[in-house]
Structure 1
Amino acid sequence: MADAEALAKAKGCFACHDVNAKKVGPAFKDVANKYAGKPDAVANLSERIKKGGVGEWGNVPMPPQNVTDEEAKKLAEWVLSLK
């Protein structure tokens, strides 16, 4: 999954997120915990990455990200793998 972390760095995810600590957005591990065990987690998180959103983690919006469907899925799977 090191390639997915490299993708996250290349796409600028770490500007607003950290693996362990809240920054502008939630920590990736917090996202993983929130979605843990949900059968549609990858699809939901992939869509949120692609389309952005606001309200689930507070009032700061996450803008839509410039990623392909495949990249969004890879990023979602990586985030969900974090414990």
Structure 2
Amino acid sequence: MKRALIVLASAVVMAGPVLADQALATAKNCMTCHAVDKKLVGPAYKEVAAKYAGQKDAADKLAAKIMKGGSGVWGPVPMPANPQVNEAEAKKLAAWVLTQK
């Protein structure tokens, strides 16, 4: 029993940051239009990460799009602005999206 609790606690600690950022994405309504691994209204986060891989300014670009919205990059459906997301949250979300592989 003690070993099982240690393994479970380790799994929670190791998954913590990923879950925390996905929780932020859920709290800010990002998951309404996006999913990690499949297209919904907008592209999957894995697609976004692949598209911006290796770009030095990718996190800043994505953070700005998260806050201000955008159009034309992923098709005809525009991404609306998200005034409920502040700059620090947008940067955290962008960094998390870019880790999705």
In the superposition, the TM-score normalised over structure 2's length comes to 0.80
Corresponding residue number in structure 2 for 1:5 = 22
Q: Partners of 1:36 and 1:11 in 2: how far apart?
A: 24
Match of 1:72 in 2: 90
Distance 1:17 1:72 in 2: 15
How big is the shift at 1:39?
Answer: 0.2
Residue 45 of structure 1, aligned match among 36, 51, 62: 62
Could you list the runs of 4 or more consecutive aligned residues of structure 1 that deviate by over 4 angstroms after TM superposition? none
Is the aligned partner of 1:22 residue 2:39? yes
Percent identical residues:
55
SS in structure 2 of the partner of residue 61 of structure 1: coil
Where do 5+ consecutive residues of structure 2 fail to align? 1-16
Q: Higher relative contact order at CA 8 Å, sep ≥6: structure 1 or structure 2?
A: 1
Higher helix share: 2
The alignment's C-alpha RMSD in Å is 0.6
Q: Give the number of the structure whose alpha-carbon radius of gyration is greater.
A: 2
Structure 1: which 5+ residue stretches go unaligned? none
User: What CA distance in whole angstroms lies between the structure 2 residues aligned with 1:54 and 1:38?
Assistant: 19
Q: TM-score, normalised by structure 1?
A: 0.97
